[in-house]
Amino acid sequence: MNAIESTQNPRSSFVYGPVKSWRFGRSLGIDPIGAVSTCSFNCVYCQLGVIQDYTTQRQIFVPTSDILSDLQALSTDEQIDVITLSGSGEPTLALNLAEILAIAKQEIKRPTVVLTNSTLLGDRMVRRALQLADIVAVKLDAISSNQLQRINQPTETINLPHILAGIEQFRGEYPGQLAIQTMLLSPWTTEMIEDYIQLLQRLHPDEIQLNVPARPRVLVRQLDARGNHAVESSNGAFRKIKCISANVLKTVADAIYDATSIPVRCAPIAL
């Protein structure tokens, strides 16, 4: 029995939205993970709550045929700019990632985006599957091992040099649009910004996306937290996450652009 057969996931839950994304417009979400949140990170800001299955083990979580029937059931009236694979955890853990990207493109005929935490980019099969995406946004929140442990809390086999090597290898092979997405939880020092710029110069992304936590973190898993839905916690279990100011965000963005000439986009900050 695979993971999806053992859950009580309601049908039609693998495709959601479209939701409005500050990065991609109206984004139709595909969730290749399903009911149990599954990731190789347990980020302190994760909107899914504490990750339930904390792993680097790839498997098929949701049969491709279930995603296909959900896509085929969609209303043709929906305005969709892109199709985004993220959902309930790390999408590259799904062994059927390539199949899902292929059917999404075939059914919806829109650009496909994968949001990944970068931890599996050292795997040749993952890099090969990602070739089918039009845009890949790779997470890079940390410029030191200490920061990686504090912010992303990876499984024990993951380390920063391994992540950076994977991104670099993927960049060398991938002809599509590569974005680096970085969550800023607190102001960075000048030295940290300089280190980050050096990494960008090594990794050559097409774009940098500076993100900030959009809302308090739910501590208990809620399926509706996929995409950018705001959710209400039934038991009030939220953790407020500190957010930097719009001015600090702009200062960091300007410093990066001035040094690299790589376009930098910033998440909107509610005043």
Q: Which of 15, 28, 35, 46 binds ligand SF4 (CB under 6 A)?
A: 46
| Selected range binding ligand SF4 among 44-52, 68-76, 91-99, 235-243, rule: CB under 6 A | 44-52
Nearer to ligand SF4, 105 or 215 (CB): 215
User: How many angstroms separate the CA atoms of 257 and 238, rounded?
Assistant: 35
Note if the bond before 18 is cis, omega within 30 degrees. yes
Supply the minimum distance, in Å, between the C-beta of residue 44 and ligand SF4: 9
CA distance 100 to 14: 11
Closest Cα to residue 170, out of 143, 215, 212, 131?
A: 131
Q: Which C-beta is closer to ligand SF4: that of 39 or that of 185?
A: 39
Hey, which residues between 90 and 129 contact ligand SF4 (CB under 6 A)?
90, 117
The amino acid at residue 68 is L
Helix (H, G, I), strand (E, B) or coil at 107: helix
Query: For ligand SF4, which residue of 41, 174, 188, 196 counts as binding (CB under 6 A)?
Result: 41
Nearer to ligand SF4, 28 or 46 (CB): 46
- The terminus-to-terminus CA distance of the chain in angstroms comes to 49
Considering the rule CB under 6 A, would residue 199 count as an interface residue with ligand SF4? no
Task: Assess 51 for contact with ligand SF4 (CB under 6 A).
Answer: yes
Note whether 55 binds ligand SF4 by CB under 6 A: no
Q: How far is the CB of 254 from ligand SF4 (least distance, A)?
A: 26
* Alpha-carbon span 160 to 214, nearest angstrom: 25
Closest CA to 36 of 64, 67, 5, 66: 5
CB of 134 to ligand SF4, least distance (A): 20
Q: List, in order, residues 6 or more apart from 190 with CB less than 8 Å away.
A: none
Where on the chain is the footprint of ligand SF4 (CB under 6 A)? 39, 41-43, 46, 48, 51, 89-90, 117
